[in-house]
Amino acid sequence: MSRPDGTRLAYRYLRGEGPTLLFLPGYMSDMQGGKAQALALWADRNNRAMLRLDYSGCGESGGSFDQGSLDLWRDDVLTVIAEIDCAPLIIIGSSMGGWLMLLVAKALGDCVKALVGIAAAPDFTDWDFDAEDRSILQAEGRIERQSDYGYEPMVVTRRFWQSGQDNLQLTGEIAIECPVRLIHGQQDPDVPWDISLKLAAHLRSADVQTILIKDGDHRLSRDQDIALLIDVVAKL
């Protein structure tokens, strides 16, 4: 589909029983990742509706990655949801997608029936950037980091960083009241597992469970990790 500015947004929508499962990928990731595809296969086999999409500048979507921001990508998600008219939703957010799921859930309110975070990384522009990083961003407009996930390098622009600072969530109560499940590996080298504990504490919802995987990494893409994710989603 096309945004009002003409940018093409790629998505895959599987029809079935609701609520629709909405998968939000992480930073510099896309809808063809292992977790998203495994969930789509489970949804297809169980007649469950599911929506996957690529944010603008990512994967199969048009646009420039350097123009991306949390606000823009949130609006990309809301635009596709409105186009398909696929609410109500259960939102599954991976890493940065776990930050976006909070912003999308706030925008949609009661249309969101549950949230599942996978190594959710809200506020990473705050806790993952030191004074030197911020100085480079201000001076050069971008910062590059070595990545262990198949792309070189990991680029963060000043535009994205500022949008993160404007959308911090762990500074007060998060006005979300639906059931929330947070899955996090305790061997995660990228997002400290206590971020999920902090997120759980800030959520207004009383129905929040944090599931820690002692030997789990950031991706949580092993067979046993995928099985746990599907079990959590199926119960919701």
Q: Is 94 a catalytic residue?
A: no
Mean pLDDT of 90-112: 98
* Range of weakest confidence among 2-11, 116-125, 142-151, 194-203: 142-151
**Matching residue, tokens 């480079």:** 136
Q: Is 184 a catalytic residue?
A: no
Task: Return the pLDDT at 154.
Answer: 86
* Residue 148 banded pLDDT, cuts 50, 70, 90: low
Q: Per the residue annotation, which of 29, 61, 95, 163 is the catalytic one?
A: 95
Q: Are residues 215 and 187 in contact, defined by beta-carbon separation less than 8 angstroms?
A: yes
Task: Return the pLDDT at 44.
Answer: 98
- Which uninterrupted H or E stretch holds 137? helix 131-140
Domain residue limits, the chain? 11-122+172-235
Name the CATH superfamily housing domain 11-122+172-235. Alpha/Beta hydrolase fold, catalytic domain (3.40.50.1820)
Q: Give the integer Cα–Cα distance in Å for 210 and 208.
A: 7
Q: Per the residue annotation, which of 54, 123, 188, 190 is the catalytic one?
A: 188
pLDDT digits (tens, 9 = 90+) for 37-78: 999 999 999 999 999 999 999 999 999 999 999 999 999 999
Asked if pLDDT for residue 145 goes beyond 90, the answer is: no
Cα–Cα distances in angstroms (integers) from residue 181 to residues 23, 151, 198, 204, 232, in the given order: 14, 29, 13, 13, 8
Rg (alpha carbons) of the chain, rounded to whole number: 17
Start-end of H helices in 3-118? 34-45, 70-84, 96-108
Asked if pLDDT for residue 147 goes beyond 80, the answer is: no
Task: Return the pLDDT at 151.
Answer: 60
Q: Is 188 a catalytic residue?
A: yes
Q: Per the residue annotation, which of 54, 56, 76, 218 is the catalytic one?
A: 218
